[in-house]
């Protein structure tokens, strides 16, 4: 694997099942030349929709509330019609790429969906990196693995990520962080052995 193939970009993937169901999910994508690779862990609505419809949209957004929202039951983000595929795009995005499924590398755990871009558009300029946005994305990934990670590791990482939130967050980043921390605290209440210590999660 060369450096380009190793690069993972965190995006929002939108899909629509042929029966009509729209789904929004954060995913890490890789590029192999022109091809975009999406690799959902089974079971996955994104996987089901993409295989059934043969298309998806990759949305590039700096609104980290969408990442946090999808993991905390807030999936109702405004959508807009895509130009070339039946799956919708997010209405508020910096840019998006419309994809058609070309090949499936099947796997019982994590199939790889090789997709061909058929349309791309830029809607707003990139505004620069923000540390709080990166911290929210990292916390979102931790939250998506809460059942598999040791409590001590989650607590230590939250303590570090919180520094960027306190120093650089705006209202969107703060809201996204709060939603994710509510989820972390909820897991701790249900099972005190599987989530961070109260000292770390509540501060």
Ligand X SMILES: Cc1cc2nc3c(=O)[nH]c(=O)nc-3n(C[C@H](O)[C@H](O)[C@H](O)COP(=O)(O)O)c2cc1C
Give the footprint of ligand X on this chain (CB under 6 A).
10, 25-28, 39-41, 44-46, 67, 71, 137, 140-141, 144
CA distance 66 to 63: 6
Shortest spacing between CB 135 and ligand X, in angstroms: 12
List, in sequence order, every beta strand (DSSP E) within the chain.
Answer: 9-16, 22-32, 35-38, 55-60, 79-80, 89-90, 95-105, 112-122
Count of helices and strands (H, E) across the chain:
7, 8
Q: Which CB atom, from 4 or from 198, has the smaller least distance to ligand X?
A: 4
CB of 164 to ligand X, least distance (A): 16
Cβ proximity to ligand X, 39 vs 195, nearer residue: 39
CB of 56 to ligand X, least distance (A): 11
The span from the CA of 90 to the CA of 81, in Å, is: 9
3-class secondary structure, 85: coil
Q: What's the rounded Cα separation, in Å, for the pair 104 and 164?
A: 39
Which residue minimizes CB distance to ligand X?
Answer: 46
User: Measured between alpha carbons, how far is 3 from 34 in angstroms, rounded to an integer?
Assistant: 15
Q: Which lies closer to ligand X via its Cβ, residue 110 or residue 124? A: 110
Which residue lies nearer to ligand X by CB, 40 or 196?
40
Query: Which residue, 44 or 61, is less far from ligand X as judged by CB?
Result: 44
We find the least distance from the C-beta atom of residue 89 to ligand X, in angstroms, to be 17
Smallest gap from residue 122 Cβ to ligand X (A): 21
């Amino acid at each position: 694997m060369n450096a380009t193939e190793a690069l993972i970009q965190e995006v929002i993937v939108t899909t629509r099942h042929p029966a009509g169901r729209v789904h929004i999910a954060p995913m890490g994508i890789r590029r192999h030349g022109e091809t975009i690779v999406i690799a959902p862990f089974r079971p996955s609505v994104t996987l089901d929709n993409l295989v059934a419809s043969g298309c998806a949209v990759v949305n590039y957004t700096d609104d980290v509330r969408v990442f946090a929202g999808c993991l905390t039951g807030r999936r109702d983000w405004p959508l807009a019609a895509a130009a070339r595929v039946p799956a919708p795009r997010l209405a508020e995005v910096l840019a998006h790429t419309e994809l058609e499924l070309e090949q499936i590398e099947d796997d019982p755990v994590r199939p790889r969906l090789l997709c061909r871009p058929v349309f791309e558009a830029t809607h707003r300029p990139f505004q620069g990196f923000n540390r709080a946005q990166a911290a929210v994305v990292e916390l979102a990934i931790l939250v998506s693995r809460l059942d598999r990670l040791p409590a001590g590791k989650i607590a230590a990482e939250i303590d570090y990520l919180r520094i960027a939130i306190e120093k650089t967050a705006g209202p969107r980043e703060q809201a996204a962080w709060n939603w994710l921390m509510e989820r972390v605290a909820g897991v701790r209440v249900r099972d005190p052995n599987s989530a961070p210590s109260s000292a770390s999660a509540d501060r």
